[in-house]
Amino acid sequence: MSDTDMQKIAGRSSLWNDRPSPYCPGCGHGVVHRVICELIEEYKLADNCVFMAPVGCSILAYTFLDLDVCQSAHGRTPAVATGIKRSRPDTFVLAYQGDGDLASIGTAEIVHAANRGENITTVFVNNAIYGMTGGQMAPTTLPGQKATTCPGGRDAASGMGHPIRICELLQSLDGVTYLARSSVHTPANVIKTKQAIKKAFDVQLNRKGFSLVEVLSSCPVNWGMQPVESLDFVANNMAPQYPLGEYKVDGVCVAPKA
Amino acid sequence: MGERVLMKGNEAIAEAAIRAGVQSYFGYPITPQNELIAYMALHMPRKGRTFIQAESEVAAINMVYGAAAAGMRSMTSSSSPGISLKQEGISYLVGAQLPAVIVNIMRGGPGLGNIAPSQADYFQSCKGGGHGDYHLVVYAPSTVQEAADLTAKSFDVADRYRNPVLILGDAIIGQMMEPVTLSEIQPDPPPKPWAVGGARNGRKPNLINSLSLEEGVIEEWNWLFKAKYEAIKQNEPMLEMLRCEDADLILIAYGTTSRICKEVLRQARAKGLKIGLIRPITLWPFPYQAIARAARKTREFLVVEMSLGQMVEDVQLAVLGDAAVHFHGRPGGGIPREQDIMEIIAHVLANKRAGAITTRGTVIDWKAS
Ligand SMILES: Cc1ncc(C[n+]2csc(CCOP(=O)(O)OP(=O)(O)O)c2C)c(N)n1
Ligand code: SF4
């Protein structure tokens, strides 16, 4: 076979500029970005797409993504995305948020964007910690998990609250068309994540309303773990707390099946 | 005497607040004040006091409002973007006459900016910030020791005037380590018969509120607040003056920039230049009178800030044309350099010209700009 016959079947997305990733070794953000980039390429959306960068570690997405990026105040991404989508209904709007951004300071914005059935797609990266600010408790921090603002471990009985399950929380809203929870701790789960995000893309492209995929992800640095250990933590500790699978399909609630 | 320890400014503020009897702390993570919330998370529950990591700064300041309404010494801390979110709540605290202590460890802005030191929230701190006609008492510490001492004092001042107090530091004040002597404090909050909750024992119901639709009531309240502000202006201004008696030029700076200016003063005096320094410790009430008095003797003032020029407007108001006011500032996280300040001093004293030095080392005419 000559060189010219060779077909590229795998490789880095062309939307990923040749710049170093700002993420720590073993971080899930890069994998989720890759999946999103591949889908944007596959659907040829790059020419009319806005990537909504949150306040969190992925705020730096603009440094290496060859996409229009809009960065908003902490937690306000769903509101800003609403403004963009209502102004430009033909633009593909991808909102990317962390757990502090979406499930703490931005709960009002995400609930109401979902409730209005905004035709946007949200990828919600749940790493059970505040990464960017150095490891404080997140609304999704597991019971007993330590963080700088719960040095003795998260304890609901002491008034620190319970882990918030965003898929379950948003399930009841009629504006929501598609909801799923996935993970990126093994290649098989990365493939499922891609399938789920693809369905979420389809919802927006068919103007069917609000879609969200929650992705369980690792933050080895702030969990104080080695990268491989952190993947086990996702499988053994996070997944039982946050069951994987689809929660809503075509606007109909379903029971999640991993 | 208390114990002498090495601490970060953020931690010293937290420890001083605990010693001053803060009963409830509410915060939300943000750099460069994270050591403060982490310290509170560790130490407040151990003492049986309230610590909550709120879901947002908006929630945190409203939790402070509730705790203060219940008569507790309460506190929140954040950095610039988070302090912007608290402005609504701060206005309500003032309107309802609730004492509280708020800490702003400033970072470069506007917007998300960066996490470098800045003094760009001077206007927001001293000239309003939220809606309505109001003032906060604003303290600007320049050492870790002073950060601790002013924090402890803030609780008393807030209680005395039933008005929120702001501690205004920056990333350097918050994160540098210095030795600090922490003294034992016997907190002595005044009785708060206005607070809601607790056994009434037959007293009339209390109301914590900032609203009245009855004609003239809010105006009347504002006159009351005005009387309070006049008393604060009388009693609370604090400043430090160094070598001003014979000065040909007086530097004016607060917080971190005043530390830089102290070194400039030392170098300039060593060269025989007669330089003085005024360091406002309260930014509101601003020490207008002391500066006005100095302006009768000294003809040149150089204001140095980590901003595009905010406190300089108050210095101009203070001197009212009696002296020339020059300015040097670096915005967005830039830190003024000693050599740049020395250069502008030489320029002003030798050439008798107005000027400011930008970060790129070019002298521009400050008055014309
Ligand atoms: C109003 C405001 N408050 C606080 C912050 C500080 N801050 C930056 S990122 C962040 C949380 C990040 O956590 P998460 O959303 O879980 O994302 P991750 O970094 O883990 O991906 C916070 C609190 C801010 N930038 N603005
Ligand atoms: S701090 Fe955590 S979330 Fe942020 S880049 Fe590092 S591993 Fe990822």
- Residue-wise pLDDT for A104-135, tens only, equals 999 999 999 999 999 999 999 999 999 999 99
A197 vs A38: CA distance, rounded Å: 11
Judge contact between A163 and A126, C-beta under 8 A: no
Q: What is the mean pLDDT of chain B?
A: 94
Chain A interface includes B28 (CB < 8 A): yes
A56 vs A98: CA distance, rounded Å: 6
Does the pLDDT value for residue A77 go beyond 70? Answer: yes
pLDDT score at B200? 85
Query: Strands of B74-78's sheet, edge to edge?
Result: B50-53, B24-27, B74-78, B101-106, B165-170, B137-139, B282-284
Q: How far is the CA of A76 from the centre of ligand 1 (A)?
A: 12
**Rounded to a whole number, what is the distance in Å from the CA of B28 to chain A's nearest CA?**
9
Q: What is the DSSP letter of A223?
A: H
Q: Reduced to 3 states, what is the DSSP secondary structure of residue A47?
A: helix
pLDDT score at B357? 61
Looking at the partner chain, which of B28, B41, B81 has a beta carbon nearest the beta carbon of A148?
A: B41
Q: Could you give the dihedral angle defined by the CA atoms of residues B207, B210, B214 and B218, in that order, rounded to the nearest 10 degrees?
A: 130
Helix axes A187-205, A29-42, angle to 10 degrees: 50
The answer, yes or no, to whether any atom of ligand 2 lies below 6 A from the CB of A30, is no
B12 vs B27: CA distance, rounded Å: 16
Burial of A241 from C-beta contacts in 10 A (0-12 / 13-18 / 19+): middle
B135 vs B126: CA distance, rounded Å: 7
Partners of residue A159 in chain B, C-beta under 8 Å: 52
What is the average pLDDT across A238-249?
98
Judge contact between B144 and B173, C-beta under 8 A: yes
CB neighbourhood size of B102 (10 A) = 27
Whether residue B56 and residue A105 make contact (CB cut-off 8 A), yes or no, is yes
Nearest ligand, CA of residue A24? Answer: 2
Partners of residue B29 in chain A, C-beta under 8 Å: 100, 130, 133-134, 136, 149
Could you tell which of A63, A132, A217 is best to mutate to test the pocket of ligand 2, judged by most ligand atoms within 8 Å of the CB? A132
Whether residue A136 and residue B38 make contact (CB cut-off 8 A), yes or no, is yes
- Listed in sequence order, the DSSP H helices in B22-106 are 34-46, 57-69, 80-95
Q: Domain A20-253: give its CATH architecture.
A: 3-Layer(aba) Sandwich (3.40)
Domains of chain B: 4-235 (3.40.50.970), 240-366 (3.40.50.920)
The answer, yes or no, to whether any atom of ligand 2 lies below 6 A from the CB of A59, is no
User: Which residue's alpha carbon is at the smallest distance from atom 5 of ligand 2?
Assistant: A23
Partners of residue A105 in chain B, C-beta under 8 Å: 28, 55-57
Partners of B241 in the β-ladder = B278
Q: Which atom of ligand 1 is nearest to the CA of A54?
A: 15
Whether residue B112 and residue A104 make contact (CB cut-off 8 A), yes or no, is no
Type of residue at A220 = P
Whether residue A107 and residue B42 make contact (CB cut-off 8 A), yes or no, is no
pLDDT digits (tens, 9 = 90+) for B159-186: 999 999 999 999 999 999 999 999 999 9
Interstrand relation of B249-252 and B275-280 (parallel, antiparallel or unpaired): parallel
Partners of residue B45 in chain A, C-beta under 8 Å: 152, 158
- Listed in sequence order, the DSSP H helices in A24-165 are 29-42, 77-87, 99-100, 107-115
pLDDT score at B369? 46
Partners of residue A137 in chain B, C-beta under 8 Å: 53
Question: To probe the interface with B, which of A55, A59, A148 has the most B CB atoms within 10 Å?
Answer: A148
Nearest ligand, CA of residue A136? Answer: 1
**Which pair of tokens denotes residue B327?**
């300015």
Partners of residue B112 in chain A, C-beta under 8 Å: 55, 59, 71, 73
Burial of A219 from C-beta contacts in 10 A (0-12 / 13-18 / 19+): buried
Q: How far is the CA of A55 from the centre of ligand 1 (A)?
A: 5
Judge contact between B268 and B339, C-beta under 8 A: no
Partners of residue B53 in chain A, C-beta under 8 Å: 136-137, 149-150, 160
Judge contact between B154 and B19, C-beta under 8 A: no
Nearest ligand, CA of residue B113? Answer: 1
pLDDT score at A17? 86
Q: What is the DSSP letter of A227?
A: H
Query: Strands of B239-242's sheet, edge to edge?
Result: B239-242, B275-280, B249-252, B300-305, B324-329
Of the candidates A90, A98, A49, A46, the one whose C-alpha atom is nearest the C-alpha of residue A72 is A98
| Alpha carbon separation from A217 to A99, A239, B215, B301 (Å, rounded) | 10, 10, 57, 56
Q: Which atom of ligand 1 is nearest to the CA of A102?
A: 15
B76 vs B61: CA distance, rounded Å: 7
ipTM: 0.84
User: Which residue's alpha carbon is at the smallest distance from atom 1 of ligand 1?
Assistant: B82
Q: Which long-range contacts (CB under 8 A, 24 or more apart) does A108-113 make?
A: A109/A75, A109/A76, A109/A77, A109/A78, A109/A79, A110/A78, A110/A166, A110/A170, A111/A169, A111/A170, A111/A173, A112/A78, A112/A79, A113/A78, A113/A79, A113/A81, A113/A82, A113/A210
Q: Reduced to 3 states, what is the DSSP secondary structure of residue A153?
A: coil
Q: Could you give the dihedral angle defined by the CA atoms of residues B321, B135, B28 and B9, in that order, rounded to the nearest 10 degrees?
A: 50
Whether residue B55 and residue A149 make contact (CB cut-off 8 A), yes or no, is no
**Rounded to a whole number, what is the distance in Å from the CA of B4 to chain A's nearest CA?**
25
Does the pLDDT value for residue A166 go beyond 90? Answer: yes
**Which pair of tokens denotes residue A128?**
């059970």
pLDDT score at A145? 98
Type of residue at B170 = D
**Rounded to a whole number, what is the distance in Å from the CA of A71 to chain B's nearest CA?**
10
pLDDT digits (tens, 9 = 90+) for B117-153: 999 999 999 998 999 999 999 999 999 999 999 999 9
Whether residue B112 and residue A159 make contact (CB cut-off 8 A), yes or no, is no
pLDDT score at B110? 97
What is the average pLDDT across A52-63?
91
If contacts are CB pairs under 8 Å, which of residues 102-121 in chain B contact chain A?
A: 111-112
Could you tell which of A63, A127, A216, A223 is best to mutate to test the pocket of ligand 2, judged by most ligand atoms within 8 Å of the CB? A127
Does the pLDDT value for residue A2 go beyond 60? Answer: no
pLDDT score at B355? 63
Could you tell which of B26, B28, B30 is best to mutate to test the pocket of ligand 1, judged by most ligand atoms within 8 Å of the CB? B30
**Rounded to a whole number, what is the distance in Å from the CA of B108 to chain A's nearest CA?**
15
User: Which residue's alpha carbon is at the smallest distance from atom 8 of ligand 2?
Assistant: A27
pLDDT score at A150? 98
Looking at the partner chain, which of B29, B42, B52 has a beta carbon nearest the beta carbon of A136?
A: B29
Chain B interface includes A149 (CB < 8 A): yes
Does the pLDDT value for residue B361 go beyond 60? Answer: no
**Which pair of tokens denotes residue A254?**
């379903």
| Alpha carbon separation from B82 to A114, B30, B115 (Å, rounded) | 25, 8, 13
Does the pLDDT value for residue B249 go beyond 90? Answer: yes
B66 vs A36: CA distance, rounded Å: 44
pLDDT score at A1? 47
Partners of residue B111 in chain A, C-beta under 8 Å: 73
In this prediction, residue A21 has a pLDDT band, given cuts at 50, 70 and 90, of: confident
